[in-house]
């Protein structure tokens, strides 16, 4: 069973949040708290991340099954990046469990970029030699702005370990960048919410999206990149809340 961080709220349809690669439920604390004003919010640590169990697989079928185990009634689901793909597979495999779906800056397609750079940077940190997070940040080397600070949220300084199953995430990277063949479609309301400065969701993806999610709607947060919820949390929260309500 996945580790979760629960934010109690009024007794309405709960919201389940699935984070992206190298993330955790804790990354969503501020947004989850704001959204819990009108609904219970459950933020999950995905498998091989945070406080959740480690497995040899990190496939979207398995991630969707993990999320389904958390649900004892239909819920709304919000997923970002890897979590967005897992949320899409969840809705396609278990449509009766999902009421509304928000997919944050990802499409149900195969991507050609890689996330091995940050992963190898974490692997390269000599955890026995660092004294504090500043040492760890320096050891991560030259990463894109904000990436090092984001990765360090998954560093357990007390036990000198990453709360990420780096070896499995490396071997499963092709699956994480891909998207499985899933039969059927999800007929519920879906919002594809993207960053205006991100190229993850393109016009060319819309036919594929519409085939799987006929009621898909599209919105963008101006100026935000792929980490739209971290870059523009107020706009992200307001847009998500308006859709869920």
Identify whether residues 41 and 146 lie together within a single domain: no
Number of domains observed in the structure of the chain: 2
Identify whether residues 41 and 95 lie together within a single domain: yes
Q: What is the pLDDT of residues 119-142, one digit of tens each?
A: 999 999 999 999 999 999 999 998
- Residue 183 pLDDT exceeds 90: no
- Residue 144 pLDDT exceeds 90: no
Q: What is the pLDDT of residues 23-68, one digit of tens each?
A: 999 999 999 999 999 999 999 999 999 999 999 999 999 999 999 9
Longest dimension (CA), the chain: 53
Identify whether residues 100 and 218 lie together within a single domain: yes
Identify whether residues 31 and 137 lie together within a single domain: no
Identify whether residues 29 and 50 lie together within a single domain: yes
CA distance 88 to 82: 10
160, HSE (Cβ side, Cα atoms, 13 Å): 8
Identify whether residues 16 and 64 lie together within a single domain: yes
CATH code (residue 43):
3.40.50.1820
Confidence of residue 156 (pLDDT cuts 50, 70, 90): very high
Identify whether residues 105 and 200 lie together within a single domain: yes
Full domain range(s) for residue 202: 4-110+170-244
Cα distance between the two ends of the chain: 29
Identify whether residues 133 and 197 lie together within a single domain: no
The residues that are catalytic are 81, 167, 226
Identify whether residues 55 and 176 lie together within a single domain: yes
User: What is the percentage of the chain residues whose pLDDT exceeds 70?
Assistant: 100
Identify whether residues 91 and 195 lie together within a single domain: yes
Identify whether residues 182 and 236 lie together within a single domain: yes
Q: What is the mean pLDDT of the chain?
A: 96
Identify whether residues 61 and 83 lie together within a single domain: yes
Q: What is the pLDDT of residues 184-229, one digit of tens each?
A: 999 999 999 999 999 999 999 999 999 999 999 999 999 999 999 9
SS3 at position 49: strand
Buried b (16+ CB within 10 A) or exposed e, 102-140: bbbbbbbbeeeeebeebbebbeebebeebeeeeebbebb
């Amino acid at each position: 069973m996945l580790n979760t961080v629960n934010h109690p709220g009024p007794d309405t349809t709960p919201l389940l949040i699935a984070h992206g690669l190298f993330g955790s439920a804790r990354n969503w604390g501020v947004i989850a708290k704001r959204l819990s004003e009108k609904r219970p919010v459950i933020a999950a640590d995905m498998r091989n991340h945070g406080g959740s169990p480690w497995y040899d697989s990190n496939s979207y079928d398995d991630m969707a099954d993990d999320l389904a185990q958390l649900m004892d009634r239909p819920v709304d689901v919000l997923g970002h990046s890897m979590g967005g793909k897992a949320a899409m597979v969840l809705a396609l495999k278990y449509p009766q469990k999902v009421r509304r779906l928000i997919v944050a800056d990802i499409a149900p397609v195969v991507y050609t970029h890689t996330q091995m750079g940050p992963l190898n940077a974490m692997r390269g940190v000599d955890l026995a030699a660092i004294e504090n997070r500043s040492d760890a940040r320096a050891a991560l080397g030259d990463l894109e702005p904000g990436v090092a600070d984001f990765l360090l949220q998954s560093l357990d300084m007390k036990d000198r370990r990453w709360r990420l199953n780096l070896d499995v995430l490396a071997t499963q990277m092709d699956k994480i960048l891909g998207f499985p063949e899933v039969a059927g479609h999800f007929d519920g309301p879906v919002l594809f919410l993207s960053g205006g400065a991100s190229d993850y969701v393109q016009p060319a993806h819309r036919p594929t999206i519409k085939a799987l999610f006929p009621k898909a709607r599209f919105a963008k947060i101006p100026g935000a990149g792929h980490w739209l919820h971290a870059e523009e949390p107020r706009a992200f929260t307001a847009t998500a809340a308006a859709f869920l309500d």
